[in-house]
């Protein structure tokens, strides 16, 4: 079977191109896979860093928001205390009896305590051990606080009450909740934390202070109170305070989920839990909250959480990674310095990094799309295109070589006038030009030989004629010589015969 040079060259070219494309594709795919791993690793790391920053910023923002609320409450208490001081320092400037008369509003309760009715703006409670004659003027003067109490409470929705407590426990409380019917008749409000914390012996700097968390005796739930001492020109006369229920704040904190399954929690300076969602109870305490449970002690939990809690109790801001209930958590925390509280924000690592998983899936898909829909099709297309281009180019080369082979055959058969038509500006063109030049030279040589042959033939003919003439002349000479020799022999024979005859 006759072999095709074109086919052999095409196969070799395709093999070389396929190897080149394969190596290039392998290197490209390897680079893509490596870039994919780097992108995944970098993306996850960046996402972790962003998640950390996000949690820290979110915890700080929420802490600052709550801190500002408590600051507003304290500032309003300061303002109200200053107003109360002004009332008692300038009693003549206020129409005491014409605004609110003690005897018209106060009556004696069943336990000997004195109180007012439900139609007044605020509740008045006077324990049964106080002589009312000594505090009538005081109660008539602080009744003017009813003009400012409603506005202050309205300004702070989570403040449930604002009040004054005198030196003997006499109390004015807004809103009017019938305090005289709620408290024991001999209840000593001036001996409770919301009075003693601001008393001169405990607060010589005369600052407005916050109480620790306590359960409100008036039945309003878990409370903290901002308490300001009231000093007139005659000295300390009592305190003015505002109660802030933590229930609404706790509910708000428990409900707020900036990230799926994330939770806030609020702790006080002693490491007791003030507020946390059910999900937080499950993750931190490993159980559900109990009915009516308040102020859970968090100090006896795992070492990892204890280290975070220790920083929170010191009012530090920061970020930690730890295991809670066998789940990896990120926790950011920030202080509410106004209260001495600390707000924490916890989220499971897997929930925070879901975006990274989605990103990894997108990177995988992009890499696969690039490999299967870009690189491989492009490689196949290049191979196909290389085959077509190679076939065309090789066809041109083999056609030229075929033309040369046929021309060489013609020359071998004596046709020296054959010419190649290849004019390419490359080695084939140069070879064609050399071939044509050789053909010309051969043709010239053939013509020279032909001419030389004719001349030689003519010379041979002339020489032949000369030789023939010489041969004829030589023949005649030889014939004469032979005839002469024969005549001499005959003469010698006759002479001999004559001598013999004479001897006889």
Q: Is 495 among the domain residues?
A: no
Distance, CA of 300 to CA of 100 (rounded, Å): 54
Q: Is 135 among the domain residues?
A: yes
Q: Is 6 among the domain residues?
A: no
Task: Give the structural domain span for 217.
Answer: 90-248
Distance, CA of 49 to CA of 382 (rounded, Å): 44
Burial of 306 (0-12, 13-18, 19+ CB in 10 A): middle
Q: How much of the chain exceeds pLDDT 70, in percent?
A: 68
Q: Is 138 among the domain residues?
A: yes
Q: Read off the pTM.
A: 0.60
Tokens of 190: 């001036």
Distance, CA of 425 to CA of 422 (rounded, Å): 9
Q: Is 224 among the domain residues?
A: yes
Q: 232 has which bridge partners?
A: 235
For 269-319, how does the pLDDT look when each residue is reduced to its tens digit (9 = 90+)? Answer: 889 888 887 878 888 888 888 876 777 888 888 777 888 999 999 989 999
* Alpha-helical segments (H) within 197-348: 246-255, 278-280, 303-313
pLDDT band at 239 (very low <50, low <70, confident <90, very high): very high
Q: Is 367 among the domain residues?
A: no
* Exposure on the CB side of residue 36, measured as CA atoms within 13 A: 18
- 3-class SS at 188? coil
Contacts of 330 (CB under 8 A, 6+ apart): 51, 52, 55, 319, 320, 321, 346, 347, 348, 349, 352
Highest mean pLDDT among 210-219, 382-391, 440-449: 210-219
- Which CATH number covers residue 111? 3.30.450.20
Does residue 358 register a pLDDT over 60?
Answer: no
Q: Is 243 among the domain residues?
A: yes
Burial of 106 (0-12, 13-18, 19+ CB in 10 A): buried
Q: Is 227 among the domain residues?
A: yes
**Number of domains comprising the chain:** 1
- Mean of the per-residue pLDDT values of the chain: 79
Does residue 401 register a pLDDT over 60?
Answer: yes
């Amino acid at each position: 079977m006759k072999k095709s040079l074109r086919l052999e060259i095409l196969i070799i070219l395709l093999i070389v191109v396929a190897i080149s494309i394969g190596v290039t594709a392998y290197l490209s795919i390897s680079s893509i896979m490596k870039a994919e791993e780097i992108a995944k690793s970098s993306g996850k790391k960046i996402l972790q860093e962003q998640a950390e920053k996000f949690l820290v910023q979110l915890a700080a923002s929420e802490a600052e928001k709550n801190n500002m609320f408590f600051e507003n409450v304290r500032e309003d208490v300061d303002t109200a205390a200053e107003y109360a001081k002004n009332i008692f320092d300038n009693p003549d400037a206020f129409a005491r009896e014409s605004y609110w008369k003690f005897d018209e509003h106060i009556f004696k309760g069943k336990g000997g305590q004195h109180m007012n009715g439900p139609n007044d703006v605020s509740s008045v409670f006077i324990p049964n051990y106080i002589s009312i004659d000594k505090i009538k003027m005081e109660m008539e003067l602080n009744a003017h606080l009813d003009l400012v109490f409603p506005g202050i409470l309205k300004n702070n929705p989570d403040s449930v009450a604002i009040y004054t407590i005198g030196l003997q426990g006499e109390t004015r409380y807004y809103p009017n909740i019938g305090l005289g019917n709620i408290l024991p008749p001999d209840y000593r409000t001036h001996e409770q934390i919301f009075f003693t914390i601001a008393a001169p012996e405990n607060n010589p700097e005369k600052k407005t202070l916050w109480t620790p968390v306590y359960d409100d005796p008036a039945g309003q739930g878990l409370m903290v109170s901002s308490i300001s001492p009231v000093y007139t020109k005659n000295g300390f006369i009592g305190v003015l305070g505002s109660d802030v229920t933590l229930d609404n704040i706790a509910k708000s904190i428990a409900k707020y989920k900036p990230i799926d399954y994330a939770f806030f929690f609020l702790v006080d300076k002693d490491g007791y839990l003030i507020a946390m969602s059910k999900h937080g109870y499950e993750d931190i305490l490993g159980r559900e909250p109990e009915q009516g449970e308040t102020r859970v002690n968090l100090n006896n939990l795992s070492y990892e959480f204890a280290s975070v809690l220790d920083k929170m109790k010191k009012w530090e801001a920061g970020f930690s990674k730890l295991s809670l209930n066998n789940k990896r958590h990120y926790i950011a925390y920030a202080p509410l310095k106004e209260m001495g509280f600390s707000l924490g924000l916890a989220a499971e690592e897997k929930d925070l990094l879901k975006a990274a998983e989605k990103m990894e899936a997108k990177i995988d898909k992009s890499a696969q799309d690039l490999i299967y829909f870009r690189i491989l099709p492009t490689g196949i297309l290049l191979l196909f295109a290389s085959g077509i281009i190679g076939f065309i180019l090789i066809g041109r080369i083999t056609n030229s070589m075929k033309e040369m082979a046929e021309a060489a055959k013609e020359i071998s058969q004596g046709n020296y006038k054959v010419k190649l038509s290849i004019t390419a500006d490359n080695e084939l063109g140069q070879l064609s030009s050399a071939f044509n030049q050789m053909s010309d030279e051969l043709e010239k040589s053939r013509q020279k030989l032909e001419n030389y042959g004719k001349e030689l033939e003519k010379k041979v003919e002339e020489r032949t004629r000369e030789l023939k003439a010489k041969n004829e002349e030589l023949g005649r000479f030889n014939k004469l010589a032979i005839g002469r020799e024969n005549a001499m022999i005959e003469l010698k024979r006759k002479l001999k015969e004559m001598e013999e005859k004479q001897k006889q």
